[in-house]
Chain A
């Protein structure tokens, strides 16, 4: 139990640090807010080595903490929608046992972006925002490939007894 608490603290800290790095290093695409989603590598490692419930817990805690630390409460709503939908899709893709970490991560990245966009459309009551969908599909895929490749390396190198 103590080991579990310590490990969870480590995962939350790690995901917060990578979230902060992303805030410091924006990707210049003309459309701000596009991120690679480094924290998802932490969530995916948990998904592979532990349970989805634990991955969900760490993910939600990270989003709420990151929102208050270096975002604003409003962004928490968007991040939660993206994070929860992304995890849901990744759990399903992993259960299918047809995809490697890259495929699972791409599914998660795309789901994350579309989830956020849908919440934006609902909250702003303006469907014109779906104009961003094609760009977000592409950036979600690229980010998904990168994070999937990273996760692939991590699950080979990380010691299993940590979990």
Chain B
């Protein structure tokens, strides 16, 4: 290893820790669950309402489950199963992504804020 290697590694880790700290600092208890497909919102619900919701994916299946204030992907028929293995989420800003079906489940602390800046086009 050279000296410049250590500098490079330190710079990346410092950036990561600062952004991690900022995200954690801004994080609040989640209130609303928002489901988007192709960047369009398809469903919102209260995080405190236990339920099972079938996301209307074309040619596929994604089933989300809310229980005890936590959301997880209960079922998914995509090949990689990454969303299904993701841990349950509960804090604002956290997301579960299903790349093949272009589905994002995210948690917000407030509905209005979400509509303004959650979706980019």
Contact = CB atoms under 8 A, between A and B. Distances in A.
Interface residues of A, number: 38
Interface in A59-94: 71-72, 74-75, 78
Contact of A74 (B2, B100, B121): B100
Contacts of B1: 100, 102-103
Interface string B28-68: 00000000101100000000000000000000000000000
B5 interface: yes
Given A137-B12, A141-B12, A78 B99 contact: yes
Contact of A72 (B39, B79, B106, B118): B79
Q: Dominant SS at the A interface?
A: helix
A10 interface: no
Given A102-B5, A103-B4, A134-B16, A125 B121 contact: yes
Nearest to A23: B80
Contacts of A38: none
A30 B86 contact: yes
B28 to A, nearest CB: 14
Contacts of B102: 123-124
Nearest to A123: B102
B15 A137 contact: yes
Contacts of B82: 32-33
Contacts of A103: 1-2, 4-5, 8-9
18 contacts: A32-B85, A32-B86, A78-B99, A103-B1, A103-B8, A106-B8, A110-B12, A124-B36, A124-B104, A125-B119, A129-B95, A131-B94, A134-B17, A135-B16, A137-B13, A137-B15, A141-B9, A145-B9
Interface of B: 1-2, 4-5, 8-9, 12-13, 15-17, 19-20, 23, 36, 38-39, 78-82, 85-87, 93-95, 97, 99-100, 102, 104, 106, 118-121
Given A74-B99, A126-B104, A134-B23, 13 more contacts: A32-B85, A32-B86, A74-B100, A78-B99, A99-B4, A99-B8, A103-B2, A106-B5, A125-B121, A126-B118, A127-B118, A131-B94, A138-B20
Interface of A: 26, 30-33, 71-72, 74-75, 78, 98-100, 102-103, 106-107, 110, 120-121, 123-129, 131-135, 137-138, 140-141, 145, 148
